[in-house]
């Protein structure tokens, strides 16, 4: 009996981070508590829609920082991420610093997450193929996306 208990215990801790506890996304809940809209599904739709906004209004955006220096580690996604941040010129910095940010794999440019400000709400959508929840980059300021 003791061997069986030990085996079950080892199996539980050896399983990938897809157990029931991982389904409770603390970062999703933290962002929601700050007033964010969290899009858990349809990542491709939100990624394309946000990228289309950037592409069609390219002259209304400025790159926000050097992506070669904007690399972070997400323990949720379990990978290094490169951030591509863009500031919508029409939005004052007192309202939002950086209106759109794309998170992609730093070693392989796979889309992991997108965050954006639509003039009213802050949104986040994430690619569940690479991260089970929103990445654990909680904004330090109310008018920031990361």
Instruction: Kindly report which listed range (1-10, 53-62, 92-101, 137-146) carries the lowest average pLDDT score.
Output: 1-10
Q: Is the pLDDT of residue 86 over 90?
A: yes
| Alpha helix stretches (DSSP H) within the chain | 2-14, 26-33, 43-56
98 pLDDT tier (thresholds 50, 70, 90): confident
Surface-to-core class of residue 130, CB atoms within 10 Å of its CB (0-12 exposed, 13-18 middle, 19+ buried): buried
* Domain locations in the chain as residue ranges: 25-126
User: Looking at per-residue confidence, does 6 or 120 come out higher?
Assistant: 120
Q: Is the pLDDT of residue 141 over 80?
A: yes
| 99-108 residue pLDDT tens | 999 999 999 8
């Amino acid at each position: 009996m003791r061997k069986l208990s030990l085996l079950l215990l080892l199996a539980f801790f050896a399983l990938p981070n897809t157990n029931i506890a991982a389904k409770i996304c603390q970062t999703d809940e933290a962002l929601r508590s700050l007033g964010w809209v969290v899009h858990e599904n349809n990542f491709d739709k939100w990624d394309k829609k946000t990228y289309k906004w950037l592409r069609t209004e390219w002259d209304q955006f400025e790159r926000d920082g050097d992506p070669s220096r904007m690399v972070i580690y997400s323990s949720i996604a379990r990978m290094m991420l490169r951030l591509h941040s863009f500031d919508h010129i029409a939005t004052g910095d007192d309202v939002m610093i950086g209106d759109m940010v794309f998170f992609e794999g730093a070693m392989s440019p796979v889309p992991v997450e997108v965050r954006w400000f639509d003039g009213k709400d802050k949104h986040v959508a994430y690619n569940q193929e690479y991260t089970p929840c929103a990445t654990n980059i909680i904004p330090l300021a109310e008018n920031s996306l990361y």
